[in-house]
Chain A
Amino acid sequence: MAASESMTRSVAGEAARSRAAEFLLRRHYLRWPEALPWLIAVGCFFVFPDRMTFGSQLLIMIMFALSLDLILGYAGIVTLGHAAFFGLGAYTVALASIKLGWTEPISGVFFGGAVAGLVGIVVGWFILRYRGLTLLMLTIAFAAMLQEGGNIRSDFTGGYDGLPGLTFDPLLGHFQYDLYGHTNYWYALAALAVVFFVVRRIVYSPFGQALTGIRENVRRMHSIGSPVHRRLVTVYAISAAIAGMAGALFTQTNAYVTLTVFDFDASAKVMVMLILGGTGRLYGAFLGAAVYMIFEDKLSKMSPTFWQFGIGLLLVLAVMFARRGLLGVGDTIRRKLAGRRAP
């Protein structure tokens, strides 16, 4: 009796284990709903052909939010200074264009990303041994230092008046930039697609798994011998590079950059977008940035004050009732519905 009971238990255990193994083997497979954001992005081009300037800015913010998701959502690094890397990429491209005559756009984006990523390695190596308030303050202070430093050398950076009238070569030597931002839209969309699949690859890799482990329980990761600091610095540098690429695209599509890219507000805004969509789930960046930017566009035209109050209220409500963002709310609803169907 006892033997057969333990037998059934072990069979059940076996089944659960193989289900878990199955899940781990398959979870990185592409599922059909993942095509949805891309189809919407392509569809928007045909539905709103006159709003493509806004569209390309939205895609760039998605990329920026995605870079934050990598460190905040997966590795659990809370930062309020990520605009530092966005700004570094933005200024690298602008200065390379003016001082070095480097006006080829695609290599420019990689150059901006590389500079931001290298700075990310150095900064990350110093600051990522700390957590909590200390880390938060170090990230804020670093972004603020770059901004103040840029202001000291305003002869070089243009200060808060910015560097206007930047010119870049036609895309791939062929596509001119048009007044409606059509070229920019496809350019940003293609860049986002490339970056997204790299990020997706990273989070489902063993490296990404280790990051999630660090987020969930850093002591356990230390005790099983995971090189926590090195992993955090690596992901911080990757995230910085992606933020830098987003910044580089920002400069190229606007042909203009000012020191406001380093604002504390910019860092807070991208975090709000990500939280709104949902952290640690890749598509949270898409949904959050889209919802935020579209509401901002509509409401701030009516009343910026009203918009600011609304975003504040939304944050409070999100923390109180929907800690996992809009996608988290979607999950809960789906689970409730499924539960009702099969009680």
Chain B
Amino acid sequence: MSHAANIVISILFDGLAYAMFLFITSVGLSVTMGLMNFVNLAHGAFAMVGGYIVVSLTRSLGIDFVPALVIAAVLVGFISVPFERLLYRRLYKATDLEQVLLTIGLAFMAIATFTYFYGPIPKSVPLPHWLEGDINLGFRAFPSYRAFLIIVGAVLVTVLWYAFERTNIGARIRAAVDNRRMAESVGINVDRLFTLTFAVGSGLAALGGGFAIQLFGLTPYFAVLYLVLFLIVVATGGLGSLKGTLLAALVIGIIDTGGKYMFPQAGNFFVYLITVVVLLIKPAGFYGRE
């Protein structure tokens, strides 16, 4: 195979893995923001907490990586409920600014707490041997960890798509995103729906956080470091749109990977450039409601 084709395949593969990470972590944020118009800057903190739970489960309790991911996602889903019920709920009608301040305050507290218990040094996890090394697909080899991430991402996209488009709860969520008042007046309990989506979204963020350990290394600052990226995915995709979040995650994941591959010194420059261009042309994002 020619060298150029090899590079393109590498970029597409790594970009796809990155996009799946972005999708898993951001999709909950998009739906909750679409439902309640709530600017949640603490979303990254839930991902960070998920990552540390995975670290503790694997390192201290000796649980395997994959079950640890699942446990972390479920745990964080439950942990997020009291936050939503006690704190977020009071600010649904408040201004953007107040929501930003509350959630950034929570993120700071989470960072400080985890720095206190885990220290500022990046953590890693022991992987099962089938996730280490490469997997050979005949024409070339791919890193198995990223392949696994892509498969999990694809499964989640399918499951979420089905839940969103083909189930009763999904229909209710779509109705509430489209027109909250109308949905309430036909008897949909939007508050309870929101608690549910918030918990699921936070759990998915925790899953993303667990995957991130191996990709980027986990420090308490993960909570704000990648937050801007999640917000970019949500804003460019369009609030509350599954399709939009997936498209935005793919565009940003692949272009960022390609950009870093070809211009390593540019960092995240291309991501921010795409964000500005997309938002100037389509301020509500790819599939957002104008």
Contacts and interface: CB of A to CB of B under 8 A. Distances in A.
Interface string A112-141: 000000000000001101101110111011
Query: Which bracket fits the contact residues of B?
Result: 35 or more
Taking chain B's interface residues, is the majority helix, strand, or loop, or is none over half, making it mixed? helix
Contacts of A255: none
Given A78-B100, A142-B276, A311 B108 contact: yes
Contacts of B116: 305, 309
B102 A319 contact: yes
A142 B90 CA distance: 31
B284 A134 contact: yes
Q: On chain A, which size bracket covers the interface?
A: 35 or more
B159 interface: no
B87 A151 contact: no
Contact of B87 (A78, A138, A154, A316): A316
A318 interface: yes
Interface in A310-331: 311-316, 318-320, 323
A176 to B, nearest CB: 40
Interface in B81-95: 87, 90-91, 94-95
A141 B232 contact: yes
A137 B266 contact: no
A319 B228 contact: no
A144 interface: yes
Grouping DSSP codes into helix (H, G, I), strand (E, B) and loop, the A interface class, with mixed when no group exceeds half, is: helix
A134 B37 CA distance: 12
Given A80-B100, A144-B228, A264-B228, A312 B269 contact: no
Given A309-B108, A309-B113, 10 more contacts: A133-B96, A136-B100, A141-B275, A152-B269, A312-B104, A312-B111, A316-B106, A318-B105, A320-B87, A320-B102
30 contacts: A78-B97, A132-B96, A133-B39, A133-B231, A133-B234, A136-B96, A141-B232, A141-B272, A141-B279, A144-B272, A145-B273, A148-B269, A148-B272, A152-B266, A152-B269, A264-B224, A265-B224, A272-B101, A306-B112, A307-B112, A309-B112, A309-B113, A311-B108, A312-B106, A312-B112, A315-B101, A315-B102, A316-B87, A319-B101, A320-B90
Interface of B: 33, 37, 39, 87, 90-91, 94-98, 100-102, 104-113, 115-116, 224, 228, 231-232, 234-235, 239, 263, 265-269, 272-273, 275-276, 279-280, 283-284
Interface of A: 72, 78, 80, 126-127, 129-130, 132-134, 136-138, 140-142, 144-145, 148-149, 151-152, 154, 264-265, 268, 271-272, 275, 305-309, 311-316, 318-320, 323
